Chains A and B, each alone.
Chain A
Amino acid sequence: MKGQLMPESPSAPIVSLRDVRKSFGSLLVLDGVSLDVAQGEVACIIGPSGSGKSTILRCINALVPIDSGSITVEGQEVNRPDLDKLALRRKVGMVFQQYNLFPHRTALQNVMMAPIHVLKQDRKTVEERARALIAKVRLEGKEDAYPGELSGGQQQRVAIARSLAMNPQVMLFDEVTAALDPETVKEVLVTIRELAEDGMTCIIVTHEMGFARELARNIYFIDKGVIVEHGPPATLFANPRHERTRAFLDQIL
């Protein structure tokens, strides 16, 4: 746990967790998690299943309320009763393992829905931007396809575009390649990499260690609701300090 209270980046963190605790019933999922993510940083969270990785992401955008501790996004406290959830969700985009596209709407409509109905933006402007986003995730020509007509990788890229349409400051990726066929994993990872290279702050829960090593500034290894250790990929992968980290990496690499 040492060193966690000192962010390695000199600038103020855009996302900051302090001693976050969360239980589901009698099951303790997060047992005092603290981490800082700087503007433009890519942070990867790794760990065995059931370790609380996804819960961290769900807590950051307030899909799941926390029991105690503090989460701030751009300096705004998330853990308070009068939270402006809409303001938070404009800042924080999220992409899910199962894509969760709206199946009754085309790819383009999926991307357009939130800006039009939530942000009440002008339909024409939104459509222009939505088309640009679909091009950005390399799906030109698929605008009018329904999710059921797209491959898993394509659906996931539409989901990324849908999230980007809200102009978020931070993107959360929750095991976004775990449900994909191996051959479509790469196209999604390329999309995320481009996003990161554009300077988007990304918090990524992943089992793709090669991807994490290549892209992340910091990697957090979490087990049983606790961040066991964290550091730049070179250090963490080459010289894990903790036995649990070593065991996990041995298993997965």
Chain B
Amino acid sequence: MTAVIETKSLSKWYGNVLGLSDVSLEIESGITGLLGPNGAGKSTFMKLVTGQMKPNIGRVTVAGQDVWNNFRLFSRIGFCPEQDAFYEDVTGWEFLTGLLRLAGYSGAEAAKRAARALEIVELTQDKDRKIRSYSRGMRQRVKFAQAVAHDPDIIILDEPLSGLDPLGKRRLIRLVKDFQSEGKTIIVSSHVLPEIEAMTSRIVMIHQGKILAQGDIHSIRDLIESYPHMISLKCGDARAVAARFVHDASILKMSFGPDGRSLVVETYKRDAFFSRLQAVVLEDGIEVEELTSPDDNLQAVFDYLVVK
């Protein structure tokens, strides 16, 4: 398979601050996940790929062409920016049709495509409301809609799941996968591993402007499994839940919050813990109020890779 997006020794800095350093990548069609903590250089990479920035060193090509100031390429690219920014005084409908008209569609075609895009992000009913009145999740969805409404071959999504509720995340993940099955090239960034994992097994790990690892998610996952995960749980009787796990060899450490309702578990086997927890909750009729992974242990992996 040939690379749709290719970067060679790509470097970018902002004054004295390094944004990206010596990044060489070949991205083929399908979904590629860009994983890294905030400030790692994911957005810089995406801005370079979408021609919003010029590399200081190196080259970025899309479909074999340099992208900087090459607006001819942009009919093939859809970009969903990270920032929560809109023309606030317009409705969702006006926003989408306006951007489609900018892409060169006639009024009728723009209307048809905007209607379709709003339908797939389930905003048809709210299309005539001003964007300033949209919830965070709706804003995120309309931002996604503008990136795909013109049916681009290449879709660049910068933190598209941020601000969405779990159901919204699931729907958007399904949509991204649908686009993949149409043969499109998709780059999606996130700082949350399970989000990326839900979309693709092909990932690029980026940290402090450098590519730390790339390839199959399983190798990254194995690496992560070698570090303990922290899982936080809030329920009526945290000690009762803890009692059910005390003989579990994969549990490294458990600690309780002062209110007696919160429990923090450290485990090597996150997935196994979640499966067991699900069973315990159902068997004992425990009401779980909150379940979070405050540390998905990415930082530990990044630290490990940096040292390595």
Q: Answer yes or no: do A and B interact.
A: no
A-binding residues in B (CB < 8 A): none
B-binding residues in A (CB < 8 A): none
